[in-house]
Structure 1
Amino acid sequence: MFRLAIVCLALFLASVSATNVRQCKNGRPFPLSVEIEGCDSMPCSVVKGSTAVMKVNFVGTHDNTKSIRGVVHATALGLTVPYPLPDDVADVCRNLLYGASCPIDESEDVVYNFNFYVDSSYPEVSVKVELDLIDENQESVACFVTDIKVQRS
């Protein structure tokens, strides 16, 4: 009962500062919340050559998930392409906050600190960014879509 109260309080606090994002297609699990620093609603403005910091609060989908990788696809001007992440950023387990670590169990509530670098060579356009967290069985653990507007500094 006490654990349930703490989880409910954490969910409430997370929703207070959460950024409004969209669910991915194909029924992939939606995170509990996503907080994009400096952004309350889409599109989020991101300066070229800077890093967008996102805290993704999600729940484990099955017991003993040993590894999770972040996979990003970006869509701009009607073209969707994979956006390769550096290994240290894509490794979700390495970037869990508040003392959490892998393996993650079913219904375990964790927060991934995702740092999305926007290269200075990016054109100044609106981009749809999809972040899918994929476990070692190639199954989605959490997925969301956000819109960003790439701007000059």
Structure 2
Amino acid sequence: MWKQLILLAFILANCSATEVKKCSDDKPFPLAVRVLNCEIPPCDVIKGTDMIFEIDFFVMKYVTKLTTLVRATSFGMTIPYELPEDVRDVCTNLMYHAYCPLYATEDVTYLFKFPIGNYPEVSVKVEIYLVDQDKDVATCFVCNIKVKKGPTGNTTVYEIDY
């Protein structure tokens, strides 16, 4: 019995939603966002790695294509953050056997592997938009991150696929 309770506690601890903020202009907000190893931002991220997001959201209309757009703000400057095509394409990164097209009010989970470049160690406000084929925002949220230097030396990093 204790083993089952410990396992349940472990699962719940790893599934907790991350406290993200709404975007401006009343853009649709996701149902939930989970950032790996982060419940309360700013989320520490290691430069040169991927930041893992699971984004639960629903669409309000028939959607054939969704694209991820990211804007990063630091030191008062906001710039678009370019993503590789395979990362930008939401439809190919939907979880739990979901696929596009999506129908109005359909809810899905998107696995977003956000590549953190070899940037200076600074705090950044990251706005993440999922935009459909008509350039309408399907969902949007803000997450504050802190870019950090990774471990030095011959260290092997293992990623857990959950």
Q: TM-score, normalised by structure 2?
A: 0.83
Aligned counterparts of 2:138 and 2:35: Cα–Cα separation in 1: 19
Q: How far did 1:61 drift?
A: 1.4
Residue in 2 that maps onto 1:69: 67
- Alpha-carbon separation, structure 2, partners of 1:141 and 1:27: 12
- Residue from 79, 95, 98 that aligns with 2:96: 98
User: By how many angstroms is 1:26 displaced?
Assistant: 0.9
Q: In the alignment, residue 61 of structure 2 is paired with which amino acid?
A: H
* Runs ≥4 residues deviating over 3 A: none
* 1:60-139 equivalences in 2 (<5 Å): 60-63=59-62, 65-120=63-118, 122-139=119-136
Q: What is aligned with 1:6? A: none
1:17 Cα deviation (Å)? 1.1
Q: Deviations over 1:56-106 (max 9, x none)?
A: 00001112x000000000001110000011000000001000000000011
- Which one-letter code corresponds to 2:60 in the other structure? T
Question: Which residue identity lines up with residue 96 of structure 1 in the other structure?
Answer: L
Q: CA RMSD in A?
A: 1.0
Aligned residues with identical type, % of pairs: 45
Count of equivalent residues: 137
Deviation at 1:144?
Answer: 0.3
| Consecutive unaligned residues in structure 1, runs of 5 or more | 1-12
Corresponding letter in the other structure for 2:45: V
Aligned to 1:57: 56
Structure 2: any 5+ residue segments left out of the alignment?
1-11, 151-162
TM-score scaled by structure 1?
A: 0.87
Q: Which has the larger radius of gyration?
A: 2
Query: Partners of 2:116 and 2:69 in 1: how far apart?
Result: 15
| Residue type of the alignment partner of 2:41 | M
